[in-house]
Structure 1
């Protein structure tokens, strides 16, 4: 497989766009860093980031209808490289990668009407705008994170060393940023000003290349120091992520925590080795915040204690997912899809036949992991989405032609994996970049070629 290119964006264009964002950041940085009377809320009670929300559980805040059907669809005119997020008050947000024109869209969830769109220097292995409860956005960009108001106005820009992978609201005032180079810090969500010093989780990487290791982030190979979004426990302001220090034999699972006080700081709580490696999939936090779950390179799913990183259990799923598992309300984990879901730029020549990608459900009981059910007849194409009432949505390869196979969405029973409803997605082919569910039960499927389908 050839190394992946970074998303299409010329250096000259990127520098110009960053300059505009930086100018907006300077103006916002002059604002007072005082309490804002609760105006800055936490993350939206909807699908607010890459894997659903701070715990990365891939679980919606709502149920879906028993027989969802297509509500609307539209093409965005450019490849998409992330999951659609939503604000819980009627708007969905989708990022694309393009040389010109808009690449961040705000769409009315009911009918797909474009509320606004912007040209921004978006960047990263998975570009999903994090949204708060007022509809404001925090967007991974070339060289940093940009904040946008609900109507699309630039608010501030916070530069980062490397490409942002974690952009998560810890509370109403603090935003956790982690770059793919393993540089973590907290900024004020209202101003973008630093609230803590940097914490370098993968050592001092001596390079001026902000894209160092980026081509390996989508699949989590050792070339990428910190490939995926951290799982965050907002109650304790603790984040869990996988990290690889250049030169080390094994990657590690790391916990970091925001420590308030006269001098607010991030501190490392613990780190443990992951001798079987890991993929570029987000760590998932359990319902009771007692465990985190990590896909390993040997085809197993492992559980680790959040208190000290001790291994709790592991269970084989039989393949290497490239997207995180979804967590059902009863603690069952449903595995994710394969590399065909990841768009790696115009020079990407990876094999579209990624091999088997079944849907497998596992659960830990009495210190051991066991398989609950398995669907070997399905070839899963992206992240699964669990619903609040214990069902699972998966996007899978379906009919079509040999040259252009189709895509279908299955609604599965979380107890036994049986298909409750199947939707053939019209005129959809190729990789899938994401699947999400908003707080009103609308299902958003985004294909890598840049088409959005919403079912209700």
Structure 2
């Protein structure tokens, strides 16, 4: 059940200061949603997932880092701009090209003085800011997900928020912790998991819980510990970037929409290693199917699910890529990489390209019960998460000389096709996203967005 709670004062101020025309537009959008649910119409049956922008952190429910859009091999920088603060998660792209990214900044948005988190939206063609919504300070740690109406779903301190394409709040549902994973289920609900292990499935239109919450770390025993305090919502978030032990759930879940089984990395308190856990959302409840304690020194990547749903790929902090049987959790093969992968593994039907903040560009081919190196580029150091597109075209950020470059490469051979400088970029990047028209979006951790467009 969704709980109605008082919004922070800065959110209230932001809402009441909206210009009249935006409020009217929002009412019109709500009217469309209301009408679409009446009279037995099927207009509200909105599918979400791959092929419509870059709707979740690693493109789709299985975290494939791959799109069916044919990638351009000739890109030019369209625009770049700072967002005013750092970024920790990939930028998502709605079906109409609207960009969404979270950050944490001072004086974020009108009427919100002091340090807060924020959700920014920008227009793809121009980079113009569409809206900025202040959220809890730890919203920077939450990924976003976008549905087919460009409604965005994002977490912050103790809540899951839904915001429409105009920046108007739709609903907020309280949770324990900060949602670091936001995905869509096969029946178009919203699956969220906080860093403290609370799993929820929420109705996309109302925010109501469709099943009882599930606690990956188990329910607290208040009879044995009647004075047990509730942990702060932001506890352990600083360990999430490296998959450390203080962050029980550090990554984005991978979900199989056909079976509603989903896969999560979990570090149970007191365990020597982190685990890959399979859960199922069915029969009006969430249940655990299996757990494999295989992630040495913690999880390094989000799990990636193969297209046929039979294999889960995950990296650990000992520098290994592991393939796991999705049915029972048994290890199929292990491949040492020589570096720690980060983000998720881009998987185009068995061609696996891990990302990272160090290490080098490498592609592996899954043979089922074994793996082989398809090609390797030790001259291209990783500074982010690669993306694969149709037409055997891939993109990755790599340092060349003194600058970070967006490198376009042939996914079949690994050969460099082209490279383009990211002006002023430093450090590493949070992800590489591909728009519906072949635009490539790169966001740096220092908080700069770069948008490249196909040459015409």
Residue in structure 2 matched with residue 146 of structure 1 by the alignment: 161
* 1:208 and 2:270 are equivalent in the alignment: no
Residue in structure 1 matched with residue 112 of structure 2 by the alignment: none
CA-atom RMSD in angstroms: 2.5
* 1:99 and 2:96 are equivalent in the alignment: no
Residue in structure 2 matched with residue 348 of structure 1 by the alignment: none
* 1:413 and 2:435 are equivalent in the alignment: no
Residue in structure 2 matched with residue 42 of structure 1 by the alignment: 47
Residue in structure 1 matched with residue 374 of structure 2 by the alignment: 372
Change in Cα spacing, 1:384 to 1:424, as seen in structure 2 (3 Å) is: same
Residue in structure 2 matched with residue 80 of structure 1 by the alignment: 87
Residue in structure 2 matched with residue 5 of structure 1 by the alignment: none
Q: Distance in 1 between matches of 2:87 and 2:363?
A: 28
Deviation at 1:104, TM superposition (A): 2.0
Change in Cα spacing, 1:40 to 1:16, as seen in structure 2 (3 Å) is: farther
SS in 1 for 2:277: strand
Q: Distance in 2 between matches of 1:94 and 1:310?
A: 36
Deviation at 1:110, TM superposition (A): 1.6
Deviation at 1:413, TM superposition (A): 1.1
Deviation at 1:322, TM superposition (A): 2.2
Residue in structure 1 matched with residue 389 of structure 2 by the alignment: 387
Change in Cα spacing, 1:105 to 1:424, as seen in structure 2 (3 Å) is: same
Deviation at 1:389, TM superposition (A): 2.5
May I ask how many residue pairs the two structures share in their alignment? Answer: 411
Q: Encode CA deviations 1:248-272: one digit per residue, 9 max, x unaligned.
A: 2222111111113xxx111111112
Relative to total residues, which structure has the larger strand share, 1 or 2?
2
Change in Cα spacing, 1:294 to 1:51, as seen in structure 2 (3 Å) is: same
Say which of 195, 199, 206 aligns to 2:214. 199
Residue in structure 2 matched with residue 55 of structure 1 by the alignment: 62
Q: Distance in 1 between matches of 2:256 and 2:368?
A: 24
Q: Distance in 2 between matches of 1:305 and 1:178?
A: 23
Higher relative contact order at CA 8 Å, sep ≥6: structure 1 or structure 2?
A: 1
SS in 1 for 2:381: coil
Residue in structure 2 matched with residue 219 of structure 1 by the alignment: 242
TM-score normalised by the chain length of structure 1:
0.84
Q: Distance in 1 between matches of 2:203 and 2:368?
A: 42
Residue in structure 2 matched with residue 397 of structure 1 by the alignment: 399
SS in 1 for 2:172: strand
Deviation at 1:116, TM superposition (A): 2.4
Residue in structure 2 matched with residue 170 of structure 1 by the alignment: 185
Deviation at 1:71, TM superposition (A): 1.3
Q: Encode CA deviations 1:268-305: one digit per residue, 9 max, x unaligned.
A: 11112115243342100111111000102221111111
Q: Distance in 1 between matches of 2:272 and 2:72?
A: 48
Asked if structure 1 preserves the Cα contact closer than 8 Å seen for 2:80 and 2:127, the reply is yes
Q: Distance in 2 between matches of 1:19 and 1:368?
A: 56
Q: Structure 1: which 5+ runs fail to align?
A: 1-13, 339-355, 401-405
Residue in structure 2 matched with residue 6 of structure 1 by the alignment: none
* 1:425 and 2:455 are equivalent in the alignment: no
Say which of 308, 333, 340 aligns to 1:313. 333
* 1:336 and 2:355 are equivalent in the alignment: yes
* 1:293 and 2:313 are equivalent in the alignment: yes
Q: Distance in 1 between matches of 2:368 and 2:208?
A: 46
TM-score normalised by the chain length of structure 2:
0.84
Deviation at 1:379, TM superposition (A): 1.5
Q: Distance in 2 between matches of 1:191 and 1:376?
A: 49
Deviation at 1:122, TM superposition (A): 5.6
Residue in structure 2 matched with residue 342 of structure 1 by the alignment: none
